[in-house]
């Protein structure tokens, strides 16, 4: 619980800076990746730089959420911030894709604490009638960071050096750290709980083995090879072990009891499927711009800006409207925009005008923006104080799990479709079939014969469009989950509840979610 000595304005400022830093990191790196791959090589590890961060974040979220419930929010927010800064500094020194992936994993461990705990603190310190506006503000900052990230990342990459897309985190993180250390005075009520290390380990092993199987299958090894079959077997064994552990331990890493609440369970489904599908837009649209349009790093950064501006607008609107409308009614609007945008992106080709692509990105951003502010609130709706950290970290975990699976699954789909399409469109006997993709990222497209360059860009554009077509499946699943959210809505008023209190709020709100 927060004490009266805390300066709420400074605390909010510190949390906003932390979220700005952590959220901006994803998009700022996405626009720099084509340049990094062109310099370092290792296109086959392109997806792993993103996946390493996501897996580490995903593994850390439920653990840090549980620890913050047990021993207080402040110490684990500070810990996550410090680890994130160390990882950022290391990323700037990387000289290979393998090193960069490892350092990104270190960053991810810190990110697994910063984002969910920041949102949980807001839920703790503000009464219900102010949470919507505050969460909307945080969602807007998340969106602003998504706008600034691509632009800043593109500018830094082109005019300063890609290393500084990581170093820029250091001043932001240190200022956030000072605000929290100086002004956030927390009165910790220790609640002893056990950490489910068995669940955490089995889950990470299951996800990593699944990712390796998808990434290596059909490339390094045949799908029916012993290695790939073994990886899938490991995934199944550890997934079953995880489920068994979670049903037997006293304090599971993911509490299945929470899923008995209709709104909570449906919210996790929405977050998961949104994560699966949305991540491919942030990864593959910058590639599309640089390869197909022949744009620079700055151009690839600019193309994400309309989408992120759209997400800022709807995140802010959702935070304001949540006290007037049910979570489901707002998310239905979100789903309509989102599926419309993703369908539009599935039609792109080498002939798609830049203006039309911008319109598609805006539509997608308008759809996903609602979820930035709404899903955290719907996940913690009606929860007691000691459950909020676990509930919000589970919400963040669900989205991160979806993004992790999405980037790996659709990365595999896009890679196979690209190779297959390349064989169809390339001139017979073309030596370009031996070209490595990173050659295209290093600015050598102009040195290729026109028919070869045209074949490469066509293959890439078609493979990305087909990937968006496959992504419509999880979007449709998200719409089903939205329909199951029920009619729960945030109730204004805060009878008897002080800052960080838990009084009778849970019982007061629960009736609306069933």
For residue range 224-262, list pLDDT tens digits in order.
Answer: 888 889 999 999 999 999 889 888 887 777 777 788 888
For residues 267 and 381, membership in a common domain is answered with yes
Q: What is the dihedral of CA 446, 451, 454, 460, to 10 degrees?
A: -100
* Alpha carbon distance 473, 409 (integer Å): 13
For 180, phi then psi, to 5°, come to -70, -45
Q: Does a structural domain hold residue 367?
A: yes
Residue where a domain terminates, one of 250, 274, 289: 250
For residues 71 and 162, membership in a common domain is answered with yes
CATH number at residue 370: 1.20.1250.20
**Which of 465, 506, 29, 161 lies closest to 284 in space, CA to CA?**
465
* Alpha carbon distance 196, 252 (integer Å): 5
Q: Does a structural domain hold residue 509?
A: no
Whether the full predicted model's pTM is greater than 0.75, yes or no, is no
DSSP per-residue string spanning 16-28 = HHHHHHHHHHHHH
The answer to whether residues 235 and 206 touch, using CB atoms and an 8 Å cutoff, is yes
Q: What is the pLDDT of residue 471?
A: 93
**Which of 403, 80, 140, 131 lies closest to 272 in space, CA to CA?**
403
For residues 245 and 384, membership in a common domain is answered with no
CB count within 10 Å of CB 96 equals 12
DSSP 219: T
Which residue, chain included where needed, has tokens 């609130």? Answer: 377
Q: What is the pLDDT of residue 493?
A: 45
Q: Does a structural domain hold residue 349?
A: yes
For residues 150 and 277, membership in a common domain is answered with yes
Q: How many residues does the chain have?
A: 514
Q: Does a structural domain hold residue 495?
A: no
Q: Does a structural domain hold residue 336?
A: yes
Q: Does a structural domain hold residue 513?
A: no
Q: Does a structural domain hold residue 436?
A: no
Q: What is the pLDDT of residue 438?
A: 53
Give Cα 368 distance to the centre of its chain: 12
For residues 209 and 338, membership in a common domain is answered with no
Q: Which two tokens stand for residue 322?
A: 């949540």
Per-residue pLDDT reduced to its tens digit, 411-445: 888 888 887 877 776 655 555 455 555 555 545 55
DSSP per-residue string spanning 323-357 = TTS-HHHHHHHHHHHHHHHHHHHTT--TT--HHHH
What residue numbers bound the domain in which 480 lies? 8-184+251-426+441-489
Q: What is the pLDDT of residue 507?
A: 36
Q: What is the pLDDT of residue 430?
A: 53
For the chain, how are helix, strand and coil distributed in percent, rounded to 5? 80, 0, 20
**Which of 297, 295, 291 lies closest to 457 in space, CA to CA?**
291
Strand, coil or helix: what is 107?
A: helix
* Alpha carbon distance 400, 271 (integer Å): 9
122 Cβ contact partners less than 8 Å away, ≥ 6 residues apart: 12, 15, 131, 134, 135, 138
Q: What is the pLDDT of residue 129?
A: 66
For residues 213 and 262, membership in a common domain is answered with no
For residues 351 and 368, membership in a common domain is answered with yes
CB count within 10 Å of CB 491 equals 17
* Alpha carbon distance 125, 10 (integer Å): 13
Q: Which two tokens stand for residue 162?
A: 């890609």
For residues 206 and 290, membership in a common domain is answered with no
Q: Does a structural domain hold residue 503?
A: no
For residues 257 and 246, membership in a common domain is answered with no
The answer to whether residues 462 and 292 touch, using CB atoms and an 8 Å cutoff, is no
Angle between helices 354-380 and 327-345 (to 10 degrees): 150
Catalogue the long-range contacts made by 261-265 (C-beta closer than 8 Å, 24 or more residues apart). Answer: 261/382, 261/513, 261/514, 262/484, 262/485, 262/486, 262/513, 262/514, 263/327, 263/378, 263/381, 263/382, 263/485, 263/486, 263/488, 263/513, 264/378, 264/379, 264/381, 264/391, 264/513, 265/484
**Residue stretches of the chain with pLDDT short of 50:** 432, 442, 493-514
* Alpha carbon distance 464, 430 (integer Å): 23
For residues 147 and 246, membership in a common domain is answered with no
Give a three-class secondary structure readout of 139-200: HHHHHHHHHHHHHHHHHHHHHCCCCHHHHCHHHHHHHHHHHHHHHCCECCCCCCCCCCHHHH
Q: What is the pLDDT of residue 505?
A: 38
Q: What is the pLDDT of residue 504?
A: 40
For 217, phi then psi, to 5°, come to -65, 130
* Alpha carbon distance 275, 278 (integer Å): 5
Q: What is the pLDDT of residue 342?
A: 94
> What is the total count of domains within the chain?
2
For residues 233 and 262, membership in a common domain is answered with no
For residues 202 and 304, membership in a common domain is answered with no
Q: What is the pLDDT of residue 108?
A: 87
């Amino acid at each position: 619980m927060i004490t009266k000595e805390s300066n709420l304005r400074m605390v909010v400022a510190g949390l906003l800076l932390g979220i700005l830093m952590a959220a901006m990191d994803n998009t700022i790196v996405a626009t720099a990746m084509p340049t990094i791959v062109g310099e370092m090589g290792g296109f086959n590890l392109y997806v792993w730089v993103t996946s390493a961060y996501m897996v580490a974040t995903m593994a850390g979220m439920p653990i840090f959420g549980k620890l913050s419930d047990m021993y207080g929010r402040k110490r684990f927010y500070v810990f996550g911030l410090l680890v994130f800064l160390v990882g950022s500094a290391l990323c700037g020194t990387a000289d290979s894709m393998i090193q960069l992936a490892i350092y990104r994993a270190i960053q991810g461990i810190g990110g697994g604490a910063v984002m969910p705990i920041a949102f949980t603190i807001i839920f703790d310190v503000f009464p219900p009638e102010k949470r919507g506006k505050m969460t909307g503000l945080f969602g807007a900052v998340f969106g602003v960071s998504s706008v600034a990230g691509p632009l800043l990342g593109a500018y830094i990459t082109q005019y300063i050096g890609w290393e500084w897309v990581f170093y820029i985190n250091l001043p932001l993180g240190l200022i956030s750290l000072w605000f929290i250390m100086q002004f956030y005075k927390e009165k910790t009520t220790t609640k002893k709980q056990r950490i489910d290390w068995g669940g955490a380990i089995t889950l990470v092993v299951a996800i990593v083995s699944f990712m390796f199987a998808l990434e290596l299958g059909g490339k390094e090894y045949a799908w029916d090879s012993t290695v790939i079959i073994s990886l899938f077997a490991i995934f199944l064994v550890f997934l079953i072990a995880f489920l068994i552990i979670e049903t037997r331990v006293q304090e599971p890493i993911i509490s299945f009891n929470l899923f008995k609440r209709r709104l909570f369970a449906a919210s996790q489904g929405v977050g998961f499927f949104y994560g699966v599908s949305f991540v491919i837009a942030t990864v593959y649209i910058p590639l599309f711009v640089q390869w197909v349009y022949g744009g620079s790093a700055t151009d690839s950064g600019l193309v994400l800006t309309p989408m992120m501006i759209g997400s800022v607008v709807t995140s802010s609107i959702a935070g304001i409207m949540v006290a007037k409308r049910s979570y489901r009614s707002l998310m239905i609007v979100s789903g309509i925009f989102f599926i419309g945008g993703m369908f539009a992106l599935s039609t792109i080709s080498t002939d798609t005008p830049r203006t039309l692509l911008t319109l598609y990105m805006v539509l997608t951003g308008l759809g996903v923006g609602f979820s930035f502010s709404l899903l955290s609130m719907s996940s913690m709706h009606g929860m007691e104080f000691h459950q909020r950290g676990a509930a919000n970290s589970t919400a963040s975990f669900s989205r991160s799990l979806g993004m992790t699976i999405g980037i790996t699954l659709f990365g595999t789909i896009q890679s196979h479709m690209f190779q297959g399409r390349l064989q169809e469109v390339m001139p017979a006997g073309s030596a370009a079939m031996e070209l490595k993709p990173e050659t295209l990222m290093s600015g050598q497209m102009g040195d290729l014969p026109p028919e070869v360059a045209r074949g490469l860009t066509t293959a890439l554009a078609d493979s990305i469009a087909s990937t968006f077509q496959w992504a419509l499946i999880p979007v449709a699943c998200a719409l089903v989950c939205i329909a199951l959210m029920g009619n729960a809505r945030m109730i204004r008023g805060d009878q008897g509840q002080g800052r960080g209190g838990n009084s009778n709020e849970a019982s007061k709100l629960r009736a609306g979610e069933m």
